[in-house]
Structure 1
Amino acid sequence: MIKLQVFFLVIILSTEICHSIIPIERSAQSSILADKKLFFFGGMSSQLLSSFNQILYLDVSKPFNTTNPPFEILNVSIPFRSSYATALFSPLKNEVYLFGGFMRNELNDDNMFGNHISVLISFNLENNGWNFTFTKTNGIAPENRRLINGVINNKTGKFYIFGGVNDTFTGATTNSIAFNDMNIFDTISLTWSKGSAEGSPLPLIGYTATLLSNGIIVFIGGEERPYNYNVSLNQLALYDTKVDQWSSMRAQGITLENRSYHSAVLTSDERIIVFGGDNFLNQYQLAVLNTKVVPYEWSVPTPAPPLPLTTYSHSATLVGNYMFINFGKVDYVDSNHEQLPYFYILDIRNFTWVAQYEPEQLSQLPNSTNTVNTSTTNSPGLSVETPSDNDKKIGIIIGAVGLSVVTVAGLLIGYKYYKKQRVHRYAKQAKQCVSYN
């Protein structure tokens, strides 16, 4: 019986081996962190001249190296090919909201919904199902737009999206409509509303938006329309979500050159770390904004080498004390340069670039040790067992426990294997290994 169970376990373990995919280079994807997984929605390939409907993910609960990151592809696709959209995760509903961007048909480059139709869809992480939320919303939905960056308040369930641009095509002529409105969506009541227009900045694209714990959204950089010039990083637009009011601030510290299509993450001590970006002349490394002082203050850390290539139109996510920087573009004079699926990790504690990612929770787990009672005190009325008797009992207990562990492990892994095989029957990408832990 034991041999049968061990054989069963070995066979199952051998079938559990799978290999991660090597993703195609991309930029303008949307990303969110949820349930210890970093998801990437869509994106656009410079080499293929096409956008994606894929959903990639990384399991950040396990260690890996950036030279061979364990990307997986979900067997559920976006209903259209998506790029330059914004994704927001609501832990209150365990859903990801994808709004705006280019939304192309699966088989051609036609816009599925027209240029002005507002499209908001949601992805449920429990059942991996898509829902076209825009068909059920209340209020007046905003026109579709791209090159936006939204934020969400996890306590209220409201997300905020400012600006963006919409292109209309008439023959060979392209007309761009730029926006400077603040759009608010309540994920609980499914209601759209408008924020204050008084004091709002000019129409803005390619910026970053960061929500502080005090309810203020900090807008950094970007490109103002219709003048097509980049905004200085020292001139900040602020939106107070608690009182629905715009203001501006001139940040102190060093003077930074303008940039757009950069990224930003917020640390636990309310610092905003900005990476990359482009102003059609140069690309940039790191900058840090301290929001605990007023006015806010910029500084530039000097990370330890090796320094990565500076990218733009990438995504950045804070995972514990690590800033993940994924994909994006690099401009070179040499047109033959191959765009790569860039992946950098910054340890924000000491601003060091690292290649090996080690989840912090792994180092915090207690050591697996057994507690053994070595007391020789005898209780009244109980017989004293000799060491040989103890050895026999311990041997019996270990054997029983070992048998139980093998049995349970075999059953659990067997169920997992059955579940995975059942899912793979319906997966469009049969060669990809999909995790449903």
Structure 2
Amino acid sequence: MIFLNNSLIYVIFGILLQLLLVVKVYSQILTIKPDLRYDHTATLIRDGLYIIGGATPDGKTPNYPFLFLDVSIPFDTKQLKWHDLSNLSNNDIVPSHQFAAAIKGGADNNTLFLYGGMNLDNNPMSLVYTLNNLSWDTPKINGTPPNGKLFITPVIDYNGLIYLFGGYSTENIYTNDMFILDSINLSWKNVSSINAPSPRIEYSAVFLPNKKIIYMGGQFNNTTLPLSEVYLYDTVNDIWTTQMTGGSIPSARFAFSSVLGLDGQRIIIFGGMNSTHIISEALYVLDLNNYNWYIPSFFEQQLNARAEHKTVLIDKYMVITFGQGYTRDDSDSDILLLDISNNDQYAWTTSFDPTPTIIHSSNIGVVIGVVFGSTFVAILLLIGSYYLRKWYKNKKEQTDTITTPEEEHPREILRIPGEKNTQDQNQQPTSTYQILQISGNTSNSLQNNEMIQEVRDENKGIPTSGEDHREDHP
């Protein structure tokens, strides 16, 4: 019985812990309205878009510095369901920051790597942070790392190698070196800078199907760099080459974004700024077959240009997040969607409708599912323990009856002493017993008493009540 009571206590305690975890997880994913921000990071992992860091227009830490958007379900950019992940248990190991680089990698290609940038006290960050299953870590990485980098665009290849080019170092130097972070084996490597582009920051970079990386634009010492030439890094042979471009060449710019087209044959750029203002001619396409630029045809009115934003490709959409150049008083939202599925005519839209084949259960859904599942199991254990305790109690109370398989009702056992042993007066009398079984039907209790009295009358020599040595056994 003590065991059952203790078990109930443990089960109840476990359920309370599970409910607390449910409340904590649920509170972390309540829909909120985040501050405007720029120079943040945007990373797609499975079916979740993670927005980390950045600064508000007045240079402060945003109210929700770690955001999550579920892209496995349709949404409207006018009613975004942002979820706050800023209160994760070990989220404090990552300081508030901006100008950092983030990309997914790792053995399962589902780990977020965050590197570089500076905190909002203007101190550079040189550690590598990883996020896996909503838990931050600072892994040990072999080799010699760069001395911190700001304003870089990371690119990852098919082998989990992350390429980090140029940027602004912790020594306040513009650089044009190339470091590779192996996201699987966790090691650093510095590769060739022969024929590399000039030092630069806030450029754009895209990994191409031919295993080359294209680098475009940027700035150096407050000089905006042109897009009339682009640079290709061969990741297989460790070789840099320069490629001239033609067509309707965009104006020089930095702090813009780019994605690879769905056919792998073109690059789409959006936004950017020069040394004085955000550029209004925001949307251009580079044809990779001839390296000619052109302005695409698009449906619906073009929205305000942005700079210092981040863009990711999700399904058929170019997803543009936050940045400078808009306010919520405009018709713009924190997210812009450009449908690029039709190369003849792109379409600005406010509706995100993912292809069913790419819909998966998000990490948040898995966490909640596990929590609710374990809570359900705990409740089942509690119910089982209750009925087990009740069964044990009922069994203990049935000490006055014996049930035999031949008869329906329990039998009352009457023990009648036989002859007394009179050989030794100093010894306790020994008796033989006859067992009379009488129906235990409670409705016939009076009849039972009469039958007992008849038996007593028929057995002469039965002691009186004062001499009775009958033992009462339940």
TM-score (norm 2): 0.65
The answer as to whether partners of 1:46 and 1:339 remain within 8 angstroms in 2 is no
Residues 250-273 of structure 1, C-alpha deviations (whole Å, 9 max, x = no match):
012222211100001112312211
The one-letter code sitting in structure 2 at the alignment partner of 1:206 is: E
Query: What residue in structure 1 maps to residue 185 of structure 2?
Result: 189
- For residues 363 and 53 of structure 1, what CA distance do their matches in structure 2 show? 28
Query: What residue in structure 2 maps to residue 120 of structure 1?
Result: 128
The one-letter code sitting in structure 2 at the alignment partner of 1:119 is: L
- Relative distance call for 1:359 and 1:143 in structure 2 (3 A) is same
Comparing 17-26 with 298-307, greater Cα deviation is found at 17-26
The one-letter code sitting in structure 2 at the alignment partner of 1:89 is: K
The one-letter code sitting in structure 2 at the alignment partner of 1:221 is: G
The one-letter code sitting in structure 1 at the alignment partner of 2:150 is: R
2:68 equivalent to 1:60 = no
1:103 positional shift: 2.7
- For residues 119 and 218 of structure 2, what CA distance do their matches in structure 1 show? 22
1:301 positional shift: 0.7
Higher relative contact order (CA 8 A, sep 6+): 1
2:115 equivalent to 1:99 = yes
- For residues 98 and 239 of structure 1, what CA distance do their matches in structure 2 show? 23
The one-letter code sitting in structure 2 at the alignment partner of 1:84 is: F
Query: What residue in structure 2 maps to residue 156 of structure 1?
Result: 159
* Secondary structure, counterpart of 1:67 in structure 2: helix
Query: What residue in structure 2 maps to residue 315 of structure 1?
Result: 310
2:335 equivalent to 1:343 = yes
The one-letter code sitting in structure 2 at the alignment partner of 1:234 is: S
1:281 positional shift: 3.7
- For residues 413 and 50 of structure 1, what CA distance do their matches in structure 2 show? 33
Query: What residue in structure 1 maps to residue 60 of structure 2?
Result: 49
Query: What residue in structure 2 maps to residue 132 of structure 1?
Result: 138
- For residues 53 and 59 of structure 2, what CA distance do their matches in structure 1 show? 14
Query: What residue in structure 2 maps to residue 147 of structure 1?
Result: 151
User: Which of 94, 103, 106 is matched with 1:88 structurally?
Assistant: 103
1:319 positional shift: 0.8
- For residues 340 and 304 of structure 1, what CA distance do their matches in structure 2 show? 16
The one-letter code sitting in structure 2 at the alignment partner of 1:251 is: T
- Relative distance call for 1:137 and 1:282 in structure 2 (3 A) is closer
2:410 equivalent to 1:415 = no
Query: What residue in structure 2 maps to residue 386 of structure 1?
Result: none
1:39 positional shift: 0.8
- For residues 363 and 339 of structure 1, what CA distance do their matches in structure 2 show? 29
1:299 positional shift: 1.2
The answer as to whether partners of 2:75 and 2:351 remain within 8 angstroms in 1 is yes
- For residues 350 and 73 of structure 2, what CA distance do their matches in structure 1 show? 14
* Secondary structure, counterpart of 1:274 in structure 2: strand
- For residues 258 and 210 of structure 2, what CA distance do their matches in structure 1 show? 18
The answer as to whether partners of 1:30 and 1:315 remain within 8 angstroms in 2 is yes
- For residues 110 and 201 of structure 1, what CA distance do their matches in structure 2 show? 27
The answer as to whether partners of 1:326 and 1:342 remain within 8 angstroms in 2 is yes
1:362 positional shift: 7.3
* Secondary structure, counterpart of 2:372 in structure 1: helix
- Uncovered stretches (5+) of structure 2, i.e. residues with no partner: 1-21, 361-368, 377-474
1:279-298 alignment runs, 5 A limit: 279=274, 280-283=276-279, 284-291=281-288, 293=289, 295-298=290-293
Residues 26-72 of structure 1, C-alpha deviations (whole Å, 9 max, x = no match):
01111111111111111111146336772211111111111111111
The one-letter code sitting in structure 1 at the alignment partner of 2:321 is: N
The one-letter code sitting in structure 2 at the alignment partner of 1:231 is: L
Query: What residue in structure 1 maps to residue 36 of structure 2?
Result: 25
- Relative distance call for 1:353 and 1:341 in structure 2 (3 A) is closer
Q: Kindly name which structure, 1 or 2, has the bigger radius of gyration based on alpha carbons.
A: 2
The answer as to whether partners of 2:206 and 2:259 remain within 8 angstroms in 1 is yes
Query: What residue in structure 1 maps to residue 206 of structure 2?
Result: 210
- For residues 43 and 338 of structure 1, what CA distance do their matches in structure 2 show? 21
1:302 positional shift: 2.7
User: Which of 146, 168, 173 is matched with 1:165 structurally?
Assistant: 168
1:145 positional shift: 1.5
Q: How many residues align?
A: 332
The answer as to whether partners of 2:74 and 2:353 remain within 8 angstroms in 1 is yes
2:233 equivalent to 1:239 = yes
- Relative distance call for 1:353 and 1:53 in structure 2 (3 A) is closer
User: Which of 15, 40, 62 is matched with 2:51 structurally?
Assistant: 40
Counting aligned pairs with the same residue, the percent is 30
The answer as to whether partners of 2:217 and 2:224 remain within 8 angstroms in 1 is yes
- For residues 85 and 352 of structure 1, what CA distance do their matches in structure 2 show? 30
- Relative distance call for 1:24 and 1:286 in structure 2 (3 A) is same
* Secondary structure, counterpart of 2:356 in structure 1: helix
1:303 positional shift: 1.7
User: Which of 257, 261, 272 is matched with 1:263 structurally?
Assistant: 257
1:137 positional shift: 1.5
User: Which of 196, 200, 212 is matched with 1:200 structurally?
Assistant: 196
The one-letter code sitting in structure 1 at the alignment partner of 2:136 is: W
The one-letter code sitting in structure 2 at the alignment partner of 1:288 is: V
1:309 positional shift: 0.8
* Secondary structure, counterpart of 2:78 in structure 1: coil
Query: What residue in structure 1 maps to residue 218 of structure 2?
Result: 222
- Relative distance call for 1:274 and 1:415 in structure 2 (3 A) is same
TM-score (norm 1): 0.70
- Normalized per residue, the structure richer in helix is 2
- Relative distance call for 1:312 and 1:248 in structure 2 (3 A) is same
- For residues 160 and 193 of structure 2, what CA distance do their matches in structure 1 show? 22
Q: CA RMSD in A?
A: 3.0
The answer as to whether partners of 1:42 and 1:52 remain within 8 angstroms in 2 is no
- Relative distance call for 1:29 and 1:364 in structure 2 (3 A) is closer
1:316 positional shift: 0.7
* Secondary structure, counterpart of 2:144 in structure 1: coil
